[in-house]
Chains A and B, each alone.
Chain A
Amino acid sequence: MAEARADATPGGDAHATLLAQAAVAIVLIVAWESAGRAFGHAWTSLPSLIAVRLGEWAASGLARHAAVTLFEITGGLALGASSGIVLGLVLGRTVTLSVVLRPFIVGLYSVPIVTLAPLLILWFGLDMMPKIVLVALSTFFLLFFNTFAGVQAIDRDLVEALRIMGASPREEFARVILPGAVAWIVSGLKIAVPYAFAAAVTGELLAARDGIGSLLAAAAAQFDMTGLYAALVVLMALGTLASALATRAERWLLRWRPAAQ
């Protein structure tokens, strides 16, 4: 049934797009490399140097650093997203409570989350914990607001139709409210992924022994341009991968929606 839908671009097209993208990447890398060789590369490093550095790192613990950062991200997301979703669902269903709590939530949300990093490091030390909390805090609000809006946006007529059929409040929730909010939850998660990366790496930049952010901090402290760029390349790769996964998940979860957009 999936192949009947027009959500996938036709095979030939996707191929051509991929080729064009590869060409753009190669042009950019070659331009960087040749410009650096021609005019000096003290500040910009060179793609070739970065590649060599990545090779060295790969042999000496890059995997461990990446694993630490990814663990902070997934742990924080699991914590922050799940509590945001639950609170969004609960407050979305109980309007009075949400009216009372709204100013508090908006107040907390208006604190730039990253500025809490020093506080969290003092509370939780130098290990993964403060980063996990930072990720959780910065994704919690995104998921809360999205889920809340999703519950509010559910078509009352659908709820009433199910109620007339005889649905209990629990069935009403499980069969209309929750699936109806899924679209909003998924889009919240998609937005949350880059925020989670930013929060984890920021925490690591400030104080950490492990993680990609600590590689970045160490390189910066030594004016090691190649190391800086290499760390950024790793972050870019991980971020792209995570976004691609999120898009996949979205497409499957929301396969009932018309293929537009």
Chain B
Amino acid sequence: MRMLDVRPRSIAPAAAAASNRVRLDAVSKSFTVRGTHTPALQETTLAIEDGAFVSLVGPSGCGKSTVLNLVAGLLTPSSGVLTYDGAPLSGLNRRVGYMTQKDTLLPWRTTEANIAAPLELACRAVPRREVAERVRAMIDAVGLRGFEKHFPAELSGGMRKRVALARTLIYEPETLLMDEPFGALDAQLKLLMHDQLQRLTQARRMTVLFVTHDLAEAIALSDRVLVMSARPGRIRRAQDIGLPRPRDVFRVRFSPEFGRLHEALWEELKDEVAKGTDV
């Protein structure tokens, strides 16, 4: 089956059919823990076009991460159908790059060895010299120069996040799933990362599903922002972001259009956040 295909993934942008990369058809998910049945995601239908940057915002515990885990194939829907590139997903989805909220760096590998990990796999077979070059460029891009030989235990939380980000971006997967990737970063660094991410995803026409708490970040980066309701989550509003691309992530937030979108989405979000906090 194609999902189990481990042949080299193309580095170049995937075929530019303007089709849906990811589609959820009435997908829901609930968990049963020690006999207690907890719905995490209400029946949700959404489609993410090839090359789109879509953000999910919503209160804590609203099922944002559940959506990512479903698309990654780490969870299977309790009901409904999830298709990837038109085919129902079964098993792990190896065509996505997933930057989880918890960093999954290999603790026995240094910064550079962690970032190199995806390139070393046989399914990519990148020559050693090219690996070294790309790792060096990526380390510069995420501002980790000087920490190449450090082990994860010797890095701060924000630095580990950046290593995880670099590891996810370096192999340029056709679809990126990112779960609050910049939560631990300071404001300036966050903007630099936004700029990097935008450049790369635009250049490679990557499809991105991005989870965040930060509404401004979501608007600045996305083609569409989905506001989710408090648990059990459902999509309360889908807002297309018409800001022209390429965007100047440093200035975009001062445009009147941005202000208007922020205002409107915040109206949607604030009730849900209030509901979500008593969890």
Contacts and interface: CB of A to CB of B under 8 A. Distances in A.
Interface stretch (B27-35, B58-66, B88-96, B234-242): B88-96
A157 B100 contact: yes
A79 interface: no
A157 B121 contact: no
Interface in B108-144: 108-110, 117-118, 121-124
Interface residues of A, number: 24
A248 interface: no
A198 to B, nearest CB: 32
B213 interface: no
B117 A165 contact: yes
A175 B117 contact: yes
Contact of B121 (A167, A180, A255): A167
A166 B153 contact: no
Main secondary structure of the interface of B (DSSP, over half): loop
Main secondary structure of the interface of A (DSSP, over half): helix
B72 interface: yes
Nearest to A159: B104
A164 B94 contact: yes
B98 A257 contact: no
B121 A1 contact: no
B171 A258 contact: no
A162 interface: yes
A25 to B, nearest CB: 36
Contacts of B9: 166
A154 to B, nearest CB: 11
B11 interface: no
Contact of A160 (B92, B107, B153): B92
Interface in B77-95: 92-94
Contacts of A180: 108
A256 B109 contact: yes
A217 B97 CA distance: 66
B153 A256 contact: yes
A161 interface: yes
A64 interface: no
Given A168-B6, A171-B121, A256 B93 contact: no
Nearest to A258: B153
Contact of A158 (B72, B93, B106, B150): B106
Contacts of A171: 121-122
A164 B117 contact: no
Contact of A163 (B94, B108, B117): B94
Interface residues of B, number: 32
Interface in A215-250: none
A49 interface: no
Contact of A155 (B72, B104, B149, B152): B104
A149 interface: no
Contacts of A168: 6, 121-123
B104 A158 contact: yes
Contacts of B117: 162, 165, 175
Contact of A175 (B73, B106, B124, B153): B106
A164 B121 CA distance: 11
A166 B6 contact: yes
A182 interface: yes
B275 interface: no
Contacts of A176: 106
B151 interface: yes
A179 interface: yes
Interface string A134-178: 000000000000000000000101101111111110010001100
Of B9, B93, B97, most buried by chain A (CB within 10 Å of CB) is B97
A164 B72 contact: yes
A165 B106 contact: no
Interface of B: 6, 9, 72-74, 92-94, 96-98, 100, 102, 104, 106-110, 117-118, 121-124, 149-154, 171
A-B complex: 4 closest residue pairs judged by Cβ atoms:
A161-B104, A256-B151, A166-B123, A165-B118
Given A165-B171, A168-B6, 14 more contacts: A1-B150, A5-B154, A157-B104, A161-B98, A165-B94, A175-B117, A179-B106, A182-B108, A255-B151, A256-B107, A256-B108, A256-B109, A256-B110, A258-B154
